[in-house]
C-alpha cells in the first residue's frame, strides 16, 4: 500500500517564524498541491502530521486550526488531490508529550488508526524533528529543502538513512518513477 506522511509547514505550505495563525496566512509551497494530486492519482494515501504549538502558546485555538486545515484541504482538492487525515500536536515543546515530533507518538497513531506498518513509508519533513520522529517510528525519513530544509540539511549532513529532495514534487516524482511503478 502506498502511504505518504507529510509535515505541513515548510513542506505543503510556506512556514513562518510568527506561526501560521489564520487561513489568510496559509500559502502553499510551489508545486506541493500538484505533488499531493499526483500521489493521490497514483493511489497513495496521504496524511499530515504537524506540530502546532501555537495552540499551547495562545496564538490561535483549535477552531482556527481547523479553519486553516479546511483551506488546505480545499486547495488540495481543487488541485485534484486528497489528504485522508490530519494529525496534530497542540502542545508546547516544554510539555514533553509523546505526540510532539521528534517523539514518534503522532506517527504511531497514524499506523494504529490506518492499520499499517510504517516500515518503508516515506515520512517527509523539513526539520530535524521530522527526521527524528520518522526514525523513531520506523518510517523512512525524507528531507525536503523547502521551509527549514536547507538549514536542516546542514545540521544532519550526509545521513545515509535520509533521502533529500528539493521539494515535495521531486519526492513524489521519484516515487512514481521508481518504487510505485506497477505496484498497487
Positions marked active-site? 7, 9
- Whose grid coordinates read 490530519? 86
User: Which three-class secondary structure state does DSSP give residue 174?
Assistant: helix
d(CA 67, CA 22): 8
> Could you tell me where the DSSP H helices lie in the chain?
32-41, 62-78, 105-114, 128-137, 149-156, 168-177
- Binning the chain into helix, strand and coil, the percentages to the nearest 5 are 40, 15, 45
d(CA 110, CA 26): 24
Torsion sign over Cα 114, 77, 28, 57: negative
Amino acid at each position: 500500500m502506498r502511504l505518504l506522511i507529510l509535515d505541513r509547514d515548510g513542506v505543503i505550505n510556506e512556514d513562518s517564524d510568527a506561526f501560521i495563525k489564520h487561513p489568510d496566512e496559509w500559502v502553499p509551497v510551489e508545486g506541493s498541491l500538484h505533488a499531493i494530486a499526483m500521489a493521490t492519482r497514483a493511489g497513495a494515501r496521504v496524511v499530515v502530521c504537524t506540530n502546532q504549538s501555537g495552540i499551547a502558546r495562545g496564538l490561535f485555538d483549535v477552531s482556527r486550526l481547523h479553519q486553516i486545515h479546511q483551506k488546505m484541504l480545499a486547495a488540495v482538492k481543487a488541485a485534484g488531490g486528497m489528504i485522508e487525515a490530519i494529525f496534530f500536536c497542540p502542545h508546547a515543546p516544554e510539555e514533553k508529550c509523546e505526540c510532539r515530533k521528534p517523539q514518534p507518538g503522532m506517527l504511531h497513531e497514524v499506523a494504529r488508526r490506518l492499520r499499517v506498518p510504517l516500515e518503508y513509508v516515506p515520512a517527509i519533513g523539513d526539520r530535524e524533528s521530522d527526521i527524528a520522529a520518522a526514525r523513531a517510528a520506523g518510517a523512512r525519513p525524507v528531507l525536503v529543502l523547502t521551509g527549514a530544509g536547507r538549514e536542516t540539511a546542514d545540521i544532519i549532513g550526509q545521513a545515509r538513512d535520509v533521502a533529500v529532495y528539493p521539494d515535495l514534487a521531486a519526492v513524489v516524482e521519484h516515487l512514481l518513477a521508481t518504487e510505485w511503478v506497477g505496484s498497487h
